[in-house]
Amino acid sequence: MLALNRILATDIVWQFSNRLGNWLGDFEEVGISPAASRDTYGADSAQLDRKVAIMCYLSVSGWLTAYRCPREQRGPLTAFHLRQMTLVTVISAVVVLMQLLMLPFLGWSSLVVAGVGLGLLLLLRMMGVMSAMSGLYEPLPLIGGLAQRLFADQ
């Protein structure tokens, strides 16, 4: 069963990264070609680990794919960036909830506050993608240390 889950997860990651590569352009510049990783998966799982870490930041389905992967099969880079993105997602949900709660009192001007908050969180996501693409364990500014402490067992 575990081998089947790993094969399915690998295929999902490959398909998603291939579609993303077609949409964004070639990944050769950063050294993570989707076609190369499918052929050399057994030899180089660090490349797959980087792709999954990048997918954590790009979409909810990428985050869910990384989260649903068994803990024994998650690479350390994926686990690190999964913790970072989990806190960013929680903070995003809190910002949206606060905007909805402030709407009756501040009116539509609360959209400005929510827009600034979500813009900063988008900036943090972009910084996380750049860190994951380069394979670094660099925590996000302001919230990175908190994410590592809160979600240490993931």
- Residue of higher predicted confidence among 2 and 144: 144
Give the per-residue pLDDT at 36: 46
Whether this model's pTM surpasses 0.75: no
Residue 121 Cα distances to 57, 66, 101, 124, 147, angstroms = 11, 20, 19, 5, 14
- Tens of pLDDT, residue by residue over 125-138, are 999 999 998 888 99
Count of C-beta atoms within a 10 Å radius of residue 59: 12
Least confident of 63-67, 72-76, 122-126: 72-76
- Tens of pLDDT, residue by residue over 19-51, are 655 555 544 555 554 444 444 444 467 778 888
Give the per-residue pLDDT at 10: 62
Long-range CB contacts for residues 122-130, cutoff 8 Å, separation at least 24: 124/88, 125/57, 125/85, 125/88, 128/56, 128/57, 128/81, 128/84, 128/85, 128/88, 129/54, 129/57, 129/58
